[in-house]
Amino acid sequence: MSEVFSPRSGRQLAMPAWAGARPMRATPHWLVARVLLVSFGTAISLFVLGDQRNVLVILVAALALPTIIVLRLPLERDFGSSAAAIAYLIVVELAHGGTTNVTSLGYTGMFALSYIAFAGTLESGFVNRERLIELLRQLVFAFAAVSVVQMLCSLAGLPILNGMLSKGAWSYNSLAVEPSHAARALSSTMLSYLILARRGAPPLSFSELWQRETWVVVAFSVSQALTGSSLAVALLPLTIVLALRLRWIVGCALLLIMTWPILQSVELESVHRLVGFLTALPTMDIMALVQADQSGAVRVMPLILFLQSASLDDPSVWFGGGYQIVTQYVQGRLVGVGEDAAMAGFIPGYIMIAGIIGTTLFLRAYLLRFTNLQTLPLILLWGPVLGNSAWNSQIFWYSLLLLRAVHHFAKASPTDSFAFVRGGPR
């Protein structure tokens, strides 16, 4: 017998699907969860403005608070820690910059409310694990389908469907604003899918994974390959490996070390840029990183500059210096970027703004308290891949939504293969 969560009486025994039970009927809670995941995980050119703002995501985020109120979503597990993290950010910014960055604070607040709304749908008991697995599977196939169509359009000399920051010529953005965003969204989606699809069982070997998920792995691989991104070259094997048993992870790491000299001689541009970038990374030499991969260098430059300039004796390192301090650290020092540019991803940007204390509160609210054996692969992926994304970006919060979902269903019994109950949730 499998189980289903009910908001009134907790877990209830449910008829398994093979015993003739009818699927759980759709509810407003599942609709909200699905809309949040799809809108945050994809980008449609119709809704994306010239400055890359996704109007659909902004609209969905703006409706999060009314949704919480109307559906009376349970907030006990997530509201307190989330409110503490965002309140600290607001206080720090008001203390240092006044109301000059109220728009950025507003975006952060809306995204946090979207996260709370999504978590509330999970805690309500009306979000079905099987439907979530199927949705993530469909997203992987959708990315692959759009990538292939974009390639065909490019080869035929036609306008690229959903083309935004696609470079064409084997570098396509698929259902994201740009190819590197697609690589991140795909990896988070694929790894979450593979973890949830185990339904609490131990990780698989590569042969077992290939046998069970052949077409999903193929679709994921095609999508990542067609981004033409050096990041995707790293994420394609890394995502699969993180879903496998520990001995496979160790074996692949040893194989990578042994084949590194061979990889350095590969002439494929994306592989060449990745190998050059990873080789230069330990040196912390900004010019060497730029020469290897300009795109990758821009993402790590703020961290290098911060580590070179910050001091633990500086109170702002501990308590935060507000948005204005980002300018002091990076403006005019980002090689290959305009002199007026002052940008940094979550690491180290959020540390600059909210300090070590504020960053700890944020990580505690959205990451660290959800650490377990099933979510650990996602967290290991999140650190180097999404940790340097802008915290007011949809892909950043999409990854946190997925982590919350994987943690939620990790609490269920390993035998909870189907969340079906005769007649729907009670």
Give the tens place of pLDDT for each residue, 174-186: 999 999 999 999 9
Q: Which phi and psi angles does 71 have, rounded to 5°?
A: -85, -5
Query: How many CA within 13 A on the CB side of residue 132?
Result: 35
The average confidence (pLDDT) of the chain is 85
- 302 contacts 77 by C-beta, under 8 angstroms: no
Q: Which pair of tokens denotes residue 142?
A: 């959708």
Selection from 105, 31, 154 nearest residue 350 by Cα = 105
* Predicted structure pTM score: 0.87
β-partners of residue 6 are: 10
When comparing pLDDT for 169 and 265, which is higher?
169
Q: Which phi and psi angles does 314 have, rounded to 5°?
A: -85, 120
According to DSSP, residue 48 is labeled B
Cα 226 from Cα 153, distance rounded (Å): 13
Cα 369 from Cα 111, distance rounded (Å): 19
Residues of 35-60 as b/e, b for ≥16 C-beta within 10 angstroms?
Answer: bbbbbbbbbeeeebeeeeebebbbeb
pLDDT at 414 over 60: no
**Can you tell me whether residue 12 is helix, strand or coil?**
strand
According to DSSP, residue 202 is labeled P
Q: Which pair of tokens denotes residue 366?
A: 């959205």
Looking at residue 363, its pLDDT comes to 95
pLDDT at 9 over 80: no
pLDDT at 202 over 90: no
Q: Which pair of tokens denotes residue 141?
A: 């196939």
Rounded mean pLDDT of 24-39? 90
Which amino acid would we find at residue 398?
Y
- 148 contacts 132 by C-beta, under 8 angstroms: no
Residue with tokens 């989606």: 189
With a pLDDT cut of 90, the percent of the chain lying above it is: 54
Cα 276 from Cα 120, distance rounded (Å): 44
pLDDT (tens digit per residue) in 320-353: 999 889 888 888 788 877 777 778 889 999 999 9
Cis ω for the linkage preceding 348 (within 30 of 0): yes
pLDDT (tens digit per residue) in 361-384: 999 999 999 999 899 999 999 988
Looking at residue 285, its pLDDT comes to 85
When comparing pLDDT for 157 and 338, which is higher?
157
Rounded mean pLDDT of 240-267? 74
Q: Look at 131-135, 229-233, 240-244 and tell me which has the smallest mean pLDDT.
A: 229-233
Residues 351, 356, 357, 363: is their CA dihedral positive or negative? positive
Which amino acid would we find at residue 239?
T
Helix and strand element counts for the chain (H, E):
19, 2
Looking at residue 192, its pLDDT comes to 97
Q: 148: part of which helix (H) or strand (E)?
A: helix 129-155
pLDDT at 125 over 50: yes
Looking at residue 16, its pLDDT comes to 36
Q: Look at 128-142, 308-322, 378-392 and tell me which has the smallest mean pLDDT.
A: 378-392
pLDDT-based confidence at 412, cuts 50/70/90? low
pLDDT (tens digit per residue) in 13-23: 333 333 333 44
Of the ranges 46-55, 139-148, 247-256, which is most confident? 139-148
**Can you tell me whether residue 5 is helix, strand or coil?**
strand
**C-alpha dihedral, 93 to 98 to 104 to 109, nearest 10°:** 70
